[in-house]
Amino acid sequence: MSSSLTQSVNRGGAYFREMHVPAPRTSRELFRLFLLYDKETGVPGLAKRINFTDVESSQMYFSILQRLPESRNLVRWDDGGYDPSQHFCEMLWSDEFQSRVIRLLLSSFPEKRRLIHIHIPKSAGSHFFAKMAPIYPCINQMIQVPSWTSKHELMEILAGFASIVEFYDFLMVISASTTWYKRSAFALETRFSRWCVTQ
């Protein structure tokens, strides 16, 4: 095999890392994109891997927030000032996305069974989470709180989630709600199939 052909073959792996993937149309496709996330380049680096050709604002809102845009933000791709790559970054970094991320994750994987662990303070709940997290796909409800979880940390958590979610048929969420009313509302809202309460 010639040297040039060998170099061409070996370069094949690098080509994969340079390919542009389609822009997400659903939230499931969005979370799958986090398989390409690199903490060194962050969300802007992820955006550079996406082909935003002909992507409209409404598609961005639906795939990232699962809702329609406000009328004043309904901007089409062919409007001169619209930059879908920048819009993608801004929406992922928004407090709205973070505050809804668990609901978005669960609705994106409807076939997964939902398990909830209710963490009652002073009941070894943190110890339970530390034991479960390495062996089960656990998500802590506190990732939705900016004061507890930074945007950088959130993106890394989603990248880790994307790398493991397809290997399991269930998802576990750790709820840190402090009142029974809030815990019940959270469980009903997210339609969990089983509860686990530490007390």
**Domain positions in the chain:** 3-93, 101-198
Give the per-residue pLDDT at 83: 86
- Average of per-residue pLDDT values in the chain: 80
Which is more confidently placed, 79 or 162? 162
Give the per-residue pLDDT at 75: 56
Give the per-residue pLDDT at 33: 97
- In this prediction the pTM is 0.77
Give the per-residue pLDDT at 118: 72
Q: Place 17 in a pLDDT band, splitting at 50, 70 and 90.
A: confident
Residue 74 has pLDDT above 80, yes or no: no
Give the per-residue pLDDT at 157: 95
Residue 194 has pLDDT above 50, yes or no: no
Give the per-residue pLDDT at 180: 44
Residue 95 has pLDDT above 70, yes or no: yes
The whole-angstrom separation of Cα 59 and Cα 103 is: 19
* DSSP track, the chain: --HHHHHHHHTHHHHHHHPPEEPPSSHHHHHHHGGG--TTTHHHHHHHTEE-TT--HHHHHHHHHSSPPPGGG---TTSTT--HHHHHHHHHTSHHHHHTHHHHHHHH-TTSEEEEEEE-TTSSHHHHHHHHTTTS-EEEGGGG-TTTS-HHHHHHHHHHHHHHGGG-SEEEEEE---SHHHHHHHHHHHT-SEEEEE-
How large is the C-alpha radius of gyration of the chain? 20
Residue 57 has pLDDT above 80, yes or no: yes
